[in-house]
């Protein structure tokens, strides 16, 4: 090699040297091709079904798989667990890189995004011929969030909504025999149960979680976006009322202005009586049972979300099962969806995890029927309201919470905050407006 680099005595570079380069180049290309081919070959195995699951569901579902594979010996399911915090990003990257799995669980709020990307296979025809999946058995709102322009893109897997966990013993000691039905009652209880000088508060509302304010806002009649999802509607009277109620709770020192990072272990704090109310979702029934001693089981309960005037609606959360358009295993994927949608399997899933089934018939079985702490959810599930189904919603609701946190800190008034949220939402929706006006119709409509 040194001979080639130094002023060469030969008129031409060594022919062998040049040949060596080409050999090397061909070798490298060959190696790259081989890696690619093996990688690609792995994906086209005719009986393998790839299923992406997130977080806790991913752990629990492994126990439901053996029965499915016994019933369908020809199908091998590869479960790949993603951490929930990275799932959204990984799904989008997989879409961009054309390496999506056959099917996945998809949180309701992400559905519009993937429908807009045209990444999901329509399922209407399959449902029509399915003996297992009967749309009428599902809670109506949860079913409807999977329908876009009359086409069905997902089958609800579990539902998730926000309501109140409360310390019945503390409420009773303060003279309240039942949980609140409306905001006025709730406010009175919060006031009676808060003693900020002792570090005791009525409720914990982490200022970096948007679900609580979203749920309050959904209880108001005004929609959160207007003109077919073209503009924010946060300056509506309804949203301002919800925001005022939320912000007042902090200003009256009925909730500490902290984030969930500082809140640390809310379960123990709830058990200790630091908070009398906790505004959260169904998985916490299991968490509280696991973390609080059985002797305290009778001291807490769940209640439907109080509304502005009487029991209100709450957020229609949860996840659906979807099949990607690019999948080569659509029939096998559908069999798995049907299996997971059986009331008996959903009931087992609830036993494993506490995730609530979206089918009414599953609620008539086993523990779900008898568990007193689940009954508030059963009631709430009939009164759900979806969040606006635009792909930008997650970003808008994040901005909403950031502005709301500034209002909580006293940097903005309610009117200023509402105007600021609208301003930010309108900026985020700019592309959507352009798309709607230029008939590149995004399939997700409000």
Note the residues at the interface with other proteins (CB under 8 A): 4-8, 12-13, 21, 88-89, 92, 95-96, 113, 116-119, 199, 207-208, 257-259, 261-262, 264, 391, 395, 402, 405-406, 409, 411, 427, 431-432, 434-435, 440, 442
With respect to other proteins, which residue has the nearer C-beta, 116 or 335?
A: 116
Residue 284 Cβ, how far from other proteins at the closest point, in Å? 21
Shortest CB 440 distance to other proteins, Å = 6
Task: Please state whether beta strands 163-167 and 275-280 pair in parallel, antiparallel, or not at all (unpaired).
Answer: antiparallel
Closest CA relative to residue 219, chosen from 191, 264, 180: 180
Least distance between other proteins and beta carbon 258 (Å)? 5
Rounded to a whole number of angstroms, the minimum distance from the CB of residue 264 to other proteins is 6
Closer residue to other proteins, CB minimum distance, 7 or 136: 7
Buried b (16+ CB within 10 A) or exposed e, 33-47: eeeeeeeeeeeeeee
| Residue 281: CB minimum distance to other proteins, A | 20
Gap between the Cα atoms of 218 and 224, Å rounded:
8
Q: Which of 338/422 has CB closer to other proteins?
A: 422
In the complex with other proteins, the residue whose CB is nearer, 205 or 353, is 205
Query: Is the Cβ–Cβ distance between 425 and 402 less than 8 Å?
Result: no
Q: How many C-beta neighbours within 10 Å does residue 82 have?
A: 18
Indicate the residue among 88 and 151 with the shorter CB distance to other proteins: 88
| Rounded distance between C-alpha atoms, residue 145 and residue 121, angstroms | 16
Give the single-character DSSP code of 147: E
Using the minimum distance from each CB to other proteins, give the nearer residue, 256 or 354: 256
Q: Which stretches does DSSP call E strand in 60-212?
A: 76-82, 103-107, 147-148, 151-152, 155-160, 163-167, 201-204
Report the length, in residues, of the chain.
446
Q: How far is the CB of 207 from other proteins (least distance, A)?
A: 7
């Amino acid at each position: 090699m040194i001979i080639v680099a130094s002023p060469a005595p030969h008129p031409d570079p060594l022919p062998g040297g040049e040949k060596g380069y080409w050999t090397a180049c061909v070798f490298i290309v060959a190696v790259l091709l081989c890696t690619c081919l093996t990688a690609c070959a792995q994906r086209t195995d005719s009986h393998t079904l790839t299923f992406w699951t997130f977080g806790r569901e991913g752990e629990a579902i492994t126990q439901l798989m053996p029965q499915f594979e016994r019933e369908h010996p020809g199908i091998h399911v590869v479960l790949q667990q993603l951490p929930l915090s990275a799932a959204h990003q990984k799904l989008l990257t997989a879409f961009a890189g054309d390496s999506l799995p056959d099917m996945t669980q998809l949180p309701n709020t992400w559905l519009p995004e993937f429908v807009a990307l045209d990444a999901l296979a329509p399922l209407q025809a399959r449902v029509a011929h399915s003996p297992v999946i009967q749309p009428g058995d599902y809670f109506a709102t949860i079913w409807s969030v999977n329908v876009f322009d009359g086409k069905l893109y997902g089958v609800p897997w579990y539902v998730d909504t926000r309501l109140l966990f409360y310390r019945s013993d503390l409420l009773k000691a303060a003279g309240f025999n039942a949980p609140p039905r409306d905001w006025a009652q709730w406010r009175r209880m919060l006031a009676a149960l808060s003693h900020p000088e002792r570090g005791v508060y009525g409720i914990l509302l982490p200022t970096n979680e948007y679900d609580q304010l979203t749920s309050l806002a959904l209880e108001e009649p005004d929609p959160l976006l207007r003109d077919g999802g073209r503009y924010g509607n946060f300056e509506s009277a309804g949203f301002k009322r919800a925001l005022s109620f939320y912000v007042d709770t902090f200003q009256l020192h009925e909730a500490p202005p902290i984030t969930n990072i500082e809140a640390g272990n809310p379960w123990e704090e709830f058990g200790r009586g630091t908070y009398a109310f906790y505004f959260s979702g169904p998985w916490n029934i299991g968490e509280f049972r696991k973390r609080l001693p059985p002797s305290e089981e009778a001291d807490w309960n769940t209640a439907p979300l109080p509304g502005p005037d009487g029991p209100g609606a709450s957020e229609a959360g949860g996840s659906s099962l979807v099949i990607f358009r690019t999948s080569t295993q659509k029939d096998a994927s559908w069999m798995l969806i049907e299996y997971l949608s059986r009331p008996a399997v959903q009931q087992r899933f609830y036993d494993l995890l506490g995730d609530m089934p979206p089918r009414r018939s599953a609620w008539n079985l086993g523990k779900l029927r008898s568990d007193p702490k689940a009954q508030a959810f059963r009631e709430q599930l009939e009164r759900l309201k979806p969040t606006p189904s635009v792909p930008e919603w997650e970003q808008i609701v994040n901005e909403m919470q950031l502005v709301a946190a500034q209002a909580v800190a006293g940097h903005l008034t309610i009117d200023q905050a509402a105007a600021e949220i609208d301003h930010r939402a309108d900026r985020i929706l700019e592309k959507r407006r352009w798309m709607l006006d230029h008939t590149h119709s995004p399939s997700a409509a409000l």
